[in-house]
Amino acid sequence: MDSVHPEPAPDTAPPLVIKIVIAGGFGAGKTTLVGSVSDIQPLRTEAQLSDRGVGVDDTSGVDQKSTTTVAMDFGRITLRYGLVLYLFGTPGQERFRFMWDELASGALGGVVLVDTRRLEECFPAIDYFERQRLPFIVAVNGFDGAVRHDSEKIRVALDIPGDIPIVQCDVRERASGKHVLMTLVEHVLALTTRPGAR
């Protein structure tokens, strides 16, 4: 009789759950990314833009936007068996940034979503992840009509190190969004297996 114990059946192994934060400027596509990839009905905390935001929220370049996230977006996706990502999208406006610490608590890594029409809007997210020492990648959302820029030109404009991945994407497409998330997971794994990693 074979004394080697068999591997547990796949359905008995607990999933590995990872928390991911998706940040970026107002109107960069964070809500769309969470919604397009989520396996469940995403939780959204959107409110209509109103006259109260005039002079406070910069809507130049996203004039057609009628709603905004006021707390967070939440979704869940299973990338492969045993790997589940919980996705937390941050609000984009400065007045809601007090939420970021809560959303980033316990996160494995982050995605900075970039709209090249409003490149400066992503700097607060980059600065935040760097201060928190939270691994992140940059995902450049390809908006219709926006000029396409080479990834290395974007790297120079954002002044980010060469080891941080930059991914071109269309967050409306599920496959493109999943590629962004897989890139982040692979980046974090590479960092944790690097010699000298804590």
For residues 9-23, give the mean pLDDT: 82
pLDDT tens by residue, 96-127: 666 788 889 999 999 999 998 889 999 999 99
Q: Indicate whether this model's pTM tops 0.85.
A: no
Whether the Cβ atoms of residue 171 and residue 141 lie closer than 8 Å to each other: yes
For residues 80-104, give the mean pLDDT: 81
Q: What is the CA radius of gyration of the chain?
A: 18
As a whole number of angstroms, the distance between CA 147 and CA 115 comes to 10
Q: Is 152 helix (H, G, I), strand (E, B) or coil?
A: helix
Q: Is 167 helix (H, G, I), strand (E, B) or coil?
A: strand
User: What 8-state DSSP symbol labels residue 133?
Assistant: T
Q: What is the pLDDT of residue 5?
A: 46
Q: Which residue has the higher pLDDT, 51 or 196?
A: 196
Structure-block tokens of residue 53: 């935001």
As a whole number of angstroms, the distance between CA 135 and CA 117 comes to 25
Instruction: Supply the mean pLDDT for the chain.
Output: 82
- Which domains, from first to last, does the chain contain? 12-50+66-192 (3.40.50.300)
